[in-house]
């Protein structure tokens, strides 16, 4: 290729085609790499979710000393009732320092969101199940 001053129209056309081809090839390679990375990320996220679920299943407890263990709004509680609680059941919970700030003094209502827990600390006991007409 001649210098810019001595280049012919044909030289300029070849240089432009070369630049266009290089740019398009570079862009296609970048898009292909991004697409591949996106698929890999999605696969890894699914795998992490699957492994977290396996770990949760392996460590989740559903009963302590004969009491059912349930999750109510992200906190684990014990239930000593005759009939087991189900997800969606409304329950009356004992006051704690957080509920006192959020709901005022005294017991407060919550909804069972999950059965069992992976938490291993002290669990408060649910006062009673709230019937639908209460």
In 3-state terms, what secondary structure has residue 124?
A: strand
Give the percent of the chain with pLDDT over 70: 96
pLDDT at 99: 87
Q: Are residues 39 and 74 in the same domain?
A: no
**pLDDT band for position 8 (cuts 50, 70, 90):** confident
pLDDT at 12: 87
Q: For the chain, what is the domain count?
A: 2
Q: Are residues 68 and 122 in the same domain?
A: yes
Range of the domain at 89: 63-129
For the residues 2-28, what does the mean pLDDT come to? 87
Strand ranges in 1-134 using DSSP code E only, listed in sequence order: 63-64, 67-72, 75-79, 90-93, 108-115, 124-125, 128-129
pLDDT at 21: 94
pLDDT at 2: 59
Evaluated on CA atoms 20, 23, 27, 32, the torsion sign reads positive
pLDDT over threshold 70, residue 134: no
Q: Could you tell me if residue 44 is inside a domain?
A: yes
**Structure token digits, residue 21:** 């081809």
Q: Are residues 13 and 45 in the same domain?
A: yes
Q: For residue range 77-133, list pLDDT tens digits in order.
A: 999 999 999 999 999 999 988 888 988 999 999 999 999 999 989 999 999 999 876
pTM of the prediction?
0.63
Contact 50, 41 (CB under 8 A): no
In angstroms, the CA 25 to CA 21 distance is: 6
């Amino acid at each position: 290729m001649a210098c810019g001053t001595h280049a012919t129209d044909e030289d300029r056309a070849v240089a432009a085609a070369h630049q266009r081809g290089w740019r398009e090839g570079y862009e296609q390679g970048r898009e292909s790499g991004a697409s591949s990375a996106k698929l890999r990320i999605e696969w890894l996220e699914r795998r992490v979710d699957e492994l977290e679920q396996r770990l949760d299943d392996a460590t989740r407890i559903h009963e302590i000393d004969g009491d059912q263990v349930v999750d109510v709004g992200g906190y684990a509680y014990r239930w000593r009732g005759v009939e087991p609680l189900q997800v969606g059941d409304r329950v009356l919970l004992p006051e704690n320092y957080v509920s006192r700030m959020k709901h005022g003094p005294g017991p407060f209502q919550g909804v069972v969101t999950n059965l069992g827990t992976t938490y291993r600390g002290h669990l408060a006991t649910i006062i009673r199940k709230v019937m639908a007409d209460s």
